[in-house]
Every structure is written in C-alpha cells, then in structure tokens.
C-alpha cells in the first residue's frame, strides 16, 4: 500500500516543537510550601509541583474537564454501535458512575460521539482508517478541549470492549504480556498485530491501522493539552494506548500526563508500568470508563486549594 505521508505531516511537526516543563513555576511551589509548612507536604506537594510545572502558573484547578470519547468498531460486538450507544446514553442521562463522581467534585463532563453509526474496519482483517480520516479525527480531538480548561481528564466509552488497546500494546511492547482480560479481545488483537506488524516502527501508521476514532481523538486531545499547557490525567486501556502511540513518536510527548489509578495486578497496571508512568491514587478501581481518573481529579483539586488557599500560620497570630 502506498502511503502519501501528507495527512500526517502536520501531526509529525507537532512532535518537533513540544514545550518543556516550567521548572521555575515548580520551584515557586516548593518555596511556598517551605514557607507554609516548613517542608514539602509529601505526595500533595508532588501534585502541586506537577500542576505548576505543566501549566506554568501557580497550582489552580478551576475549570477541569472530563472528556469521554466514543467510537465503534466492526467485527467485535462489545464495540458495536448498539453497545457503545448504550454506554453513551447512560452517561448522557447522568446514570453512569462517572456522572456521580463529576457531580461530587464539580468536574465538567463532555461526551463526544464519534460517528457511532460508521464503525471503523475490523482491525484483524483490514486497516481501521485511512490517513485523511485519522488525521481529521486527531484534529477534532485537539479542538474538543478548547475553552480555557486547566485540567484534562481523559476517558473513553469502550476501553474494555475494543481490541485496539491490546493490539497497540502488543505491537509496541510484545505479545508475551497479556494485554487484555478478555480472551475474545486478545484473540482479535493477536490477529491484528500479526497483520499489521510491519507498521510497528511508525506510531502514527500503527494507530491508523489499529486505532478507532476514539483513539485518534484522545491522541489529539493529549497533544492539544500539551500545547495549551494543560496537565492531563489518564485512565484505562484506551487513553493509555493513545498515550503509548504518542510516546512511540516522541518519548517526551506525554510527560505532562499522570494516571488516575495504580491498577495494580490488572492489565491497566501492566500498561502503566511499561509506559513508566506515575499514578495519583495508589488504588485499583476495576472500572475503566474514567472513574479512576475522575476520582484522582478530585484529589488534584484539593491539592491545588491546599496550595493557593492556605495562609501562613504567622498571619493568624495576634499580639
């Protein structure tokens, strides 16, 4: 198959101009914590430093967004239009676990329906998308986070129902590890990896063949967040597979991202480990439609307030 390269040229250029961390902003956090508490406040301090390092300002979380992307796949019932639409409908009606967490922590929530009636191709039999469609969906993901947000929480509607994450991790990190808890998903992913193995050296081409629209949109959102100086929290195999592709393109491209839950002993935990990422909460939540990342966002909001809203005790002393 001939590859023009043109639809991906603009995306590749983004990897060459990634803004680095703002260490001066992080140092100001360290100095203020020293003045407030006489020491670094443990993991809370690390979260505060992370927020400052990647936002470039003092830790503030006033406009967090949980962005959920939904796409469909041919050849797999769990990612069919009917199955994904049911999950999207529950979220839209406010009846999903994620809705309750967002309400509790006052997190903005947007669900993006990515042409559910037009599933991508069965990746065990064909390429998921063509280059133009893939690049267009990446651009949509970049635009989806517009509006001045200061924290992005990324999730999808079918992390456990799509073969894409298992196939991406199998192609990038080897098939010795079990990248899915479902035998059916693992079988489809193995066939897809065998079919598309030749693309494993090119992250974007690999995702074009293996990734659904939700994968491309999430990759675009992660990249846009980096450009706009917005820290990102990921959760579940879907967002992690999008991050894995970006890291394959540029090892520093997901440095602004943390993971919501540790996922110890699960497939998610294995993915986190192989990516070398750090988790915010030292827990395992066996629910992967963004619940772990949203819970972590509540913790991050608290960490930011413990920095910006606290006054030195000396200010409270009176003669």
- Residues marked active site are found at 289
3-state secondary structure of 250: coil
- Residues 113, 72: Cα–Cα separation, whole Å: 10
Task: Of 268, 276, 208, give the one whose Cα is nearest residue 239.
Answer: 268
Residue recorded with tokens 């990921």: 234
Q: Report yes or no: 58 and 28 within 8 Å, Cβ to Cβ.
A: yes
Query: Residue 249: in which H helix or E strand, if any?
Result: helix 237-249
Give the tokens for residue 56: 């470039």
Q: Report yes or no: 305 and 58 within 8 Å, Cβ to Cβ.
A: no
Q: Report yes or no: 68 and 144 within 8 Å, Cβ to Cβ.
A: no
Q: Report yes or no: 53 and 26 within 8 Å, Cβ to Cβ.
A: yes
Q: How far apart are the first and last CA of the chain?
A: 81
Q: What number of CA atoms fall less than 13 Å from residue 203's CA on the CB side?
A: 21
């Amino acid at each position: 198959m001939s590859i023009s390269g043109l639809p991906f040229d603009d995306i590749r250029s983004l990897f060459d101009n990634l803004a680095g961390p703002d260490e001066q902003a992080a140092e100001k956090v360290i100095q203020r914590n020293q003045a407030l508490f006489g020491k670094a406040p443990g993991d809370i301090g690390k979260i505060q430093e992370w927020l400052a390092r990647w936002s470039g300002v003092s830790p503030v979380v006033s406009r967090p967004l949980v962005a959920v992307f939904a796409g469909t796949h041919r050849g797999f019932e769990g990612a069919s239009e009917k199955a994904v639409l049911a999950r999207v409908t529950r979220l839209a009606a406010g009846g999903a676990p994620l809705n309750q967490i967002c309400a509790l922590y006052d997190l903005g929530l947007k669900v993006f329906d990515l042409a559910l009636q037009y599933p991508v191709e069965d990746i065990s039999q064909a390429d998921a998308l063509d280059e133009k469609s893939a690049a267009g969906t990446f651009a949509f993901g970049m635009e989806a986070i517009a509006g001045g947000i200061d924290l992005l929480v990324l999730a999808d509607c079918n992390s456990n129902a799509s073969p894409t994450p298992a196939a991406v991790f199998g192609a990038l990190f080897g098939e010795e590890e079990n990248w899915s808890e479902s035998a059916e998903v693992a079988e489809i992913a193995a066939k897809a990896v065998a079919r598309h193995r030749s693309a494993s050296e090119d992250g974007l081409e690999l995702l074009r063949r293996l990734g659904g629209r939700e994968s491309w949109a999430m990759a675009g959102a992660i990249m846009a967040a980096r450009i706009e100086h917005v820290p990102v929290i990921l959760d579940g195999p879907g967002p992690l597979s999008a991050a894995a592709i970006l890291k394959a393109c540029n090892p520093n491209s997901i440095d602004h991202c943390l993971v919501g839950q540790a996922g110890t002993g699960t497939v998610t935990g294995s993915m986190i480990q192989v990516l070398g990422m750090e988790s915010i909460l030292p827990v395992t939540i066996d629910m992967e439609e963004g619940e772990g990342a949203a819970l972590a966002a509540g913790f991050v909001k608290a960490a930011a307030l413990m920095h910006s809203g606290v006054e030195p005790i000396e200010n409270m002393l009176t003669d």
